Amino acid sequence: MTPLERAGLCTLHRLDPELAHGLSLKALRFGLVPLPGPVTSARLRTRLAGLDLPNPVGLAAGYDKNAEAVGALTRAGFGFVEVGAATPLPQPGNPKPRLFRLPEDRAVINRFGFNNDGAEAIAARLARADRRVPVGLNLGANKTSADRAADFARVLALAGPHVDFATVNVSSPNTERLRDLQGKAALSALLSGVMETRGALARPVPVFLKIAPDLAEAELADVAEVALASGIDAVIATNTTLARDGLKSRHAGEAGGLSGVPLFERSTRVLARLHHLTEGRIPLIGAGGIASAADAWAKIRAGASAVQLYSALVFQGLSLVSDIARGLDALAAREGFATLADAVGSGRGDWL
């Protein structure tokens, strides 16, 4: 981290978290943040669900909810970028305050509730964006929708022509009863509708599924079965958690989804278990608690073909992205792997 980046983070941390979030996006849009471009090498190049990534380190959904800084983010060192979540209609989300830093725990709690400008506005921005790496959209459902399952397909129909992949997000804890859509019958029906919509696009895109870290063993087995049967292209494991084990920060009791370092172990165990249940037949993307190259390497060895991060950027800045990518290259070389793909799942047993 450079002295300038450290000073910028210190300044942002003196502000309300949601205000700081917005200002960081503005800084990216106006070119005030140094951007190294995608980091890549022969070891780092990754093929994921038909997408060619310069490296497997992605940005998780939730940071650029409205696709306002896509061009800059694709030059920030990431191998791929996910924006959103987008819902069919604009919605304000939950009342403020709804974002909390937990510095002692290197964690964040949010209860945004899918606040966004709506799929049409977001699709228009994506259509105009200058992108250097694959860009995907996280699909969500409106809080007041009478048919939430249909909302995911509606967003895909609107934005599908302007993205490289789409993620079905049924795992946010901040929209009431949304996680109920992870049940076997409901999830199967929902994904059937999404895949039918995907098939009608002029350029069908890969569809990912993002799951919660709080699933019981039987629920995770159902998710694995439905994922394999539905024909989706990858699973993201995992979203934020409702658990609050061992937190020290004063905001530990706030409602919402917890992300950051305390999520790492829980999400990695779910990832490894899912890799075991699917026998490696579907690519997995590891998310949750990644704050170093060693963390990303552990996710890959647990079964992830790629990884995503977000919360660690709050505490370590955007330079962390390049640091992790270069660190992964060095770790793979040290362990004797010609490519990161060769390492996928090699340490799964450590987490089962």
Catalytic residues: 172
DSSP H or E stretch at residue 121: helix 119-128
Contacts of 147 (CB under 8 A, 6+ apart): none
8 Å CB contact between 72 and 33: yes
Which residue pairs, CB below 8 angstroms and at least 24 apart, start in 196-202? 196/153, 197/153, 197/156, 197/157, 197/160, 198/156, 198/160, 198/166, 200/157, 201/156, 201/157, 201/160, 201/161, 202/161
Please state, in angstroms and rounded to a whole number, the distance separating the CA atoms of residues 177 and 148: 10
Please state, in angstroms and rounded to a whole number, the distance separating the CA atoms of residues 251 and 245: 13
Please state, in angstroms and rounded to a whole number, the distance separating the CA atoms of residues 198 and 210: 17
- Between strands 234-237 and 257-260, the pairing is unpaired
8 Å CB contact between 66 and 140: no
The token duo for 9 is 């983070």
CA 299: distance to chain centroid? 14
The token duo for 83 is 């924006």
8 Å CB contact between 190 and 203: no
Looking at the DSSP bridge assignments, the partners of residue 233 are: none
> Which residue shows structure tokens 């590891």?
286
